[in-house]
Amino acid sequence: MINPEIFQAPTWARGPHQQTILARMLRPAPPIRSVRERIETPDDDFVDIDWSTLNVSDAPIVIVLHGLEGSSHSKYVRNVCRELNALGVRTLAMNFRGCSGEPNRALPYYHSGDTRDLILIAGMLRERHPRASIGAMGFSLGGNVLLKAMGESIDGGQALFDAAAVMSVPYDLAASSALLQSTHMGRIYSEYFMRSLRRKVLWKQNQLAQVLDMAAIARVRSIEDLDEAVTAPLNGFNSAGDYYTQCSSTTFLAEVRVPTLMLHSEDDPFLPSDAIPHREAERNPALRLLLTPSGGHVGFIGGTPWAPEFWGEIVAARFLAHRLKSCHRE
């Protein structure tokens, strides 16, 4: 649904790129008291998670998932953790493999459809905290992973989570990739991510050289090129197109059974407006698509330049806190 009264970009941050870039620049990085835990995975790899140190027994817990080349230290992650902590909700910020400051052990990295670690950690939380309600919040790529994890589960994700929220998800990975390659600003955004992704390839170049065409990798110029040369072959996909088809979260929305808030802006520069899943959201009562005319990508910045407000994190935190506190687990 579109409700322009819900969020309107201020005059000083009007436009998709202003929203996207200014939010990154002005979003605070609040100090979060956290403790890191390393989770060993069944394939002899590891995932690092950062727990907020909120000393409330059986308080709800939210797993927070960052976007492409983010981490638990990303400002938007820390900001939503602060909002949730203030509402009495514990947070667990999960780092995708290779995103916690050191290379992961296994050859493949994380990708937009790899749900194994999220499912592992959600199951771990259910065992450790049987009386706590469990939620999840995903930004961009992390939101795609979250929606896919719920939709591909036999019960629509109800064994994993009691509530979920996502922001600025690239629901159709092929459409997102095409848009980023076809616009000037899209190519600038892509190059920003590529700088970090290239460093990760260099971390493992000796290992990768044993299984991949390093000459082809050296010619990579876009995210789609990298997905074709690295992501797809490392993860068993036939091509970048095959990877996008199998991992786009739109495909899985019909099966989600967890109450889920989907925050998105019509002017998100990472996804064409005709790829926003209106029909899927309308047909599934578990989904609430909260669509605004402006907001950019993980933007939704309001207030003033001196005292900016971040509507998306506030709305998501309130939704999750309300839904999770209304759950009663025995």
Q: What residues are annotated to the active site?
A: 140, 268, 297
CA angle 167/326/135 to nearest 5° reads: 35
CA angle 83/130/98 to nearest 5° reads: 60
- Residue 208 to residues 116, 130, 284: CA-CA distances in angstroms? 22, 41, 42
Q: What is the rounded distance in angstroms from the CA atom of residue 111 to the CA atom of residue 211?
A: 18
Nearest Cα to 311, choosing from 12, 93, 17, 19?
A: 19
Q: What is the rounded distance in angstroms from the CA atom of residue 115 to the CA atom of residue 112?
A: 8
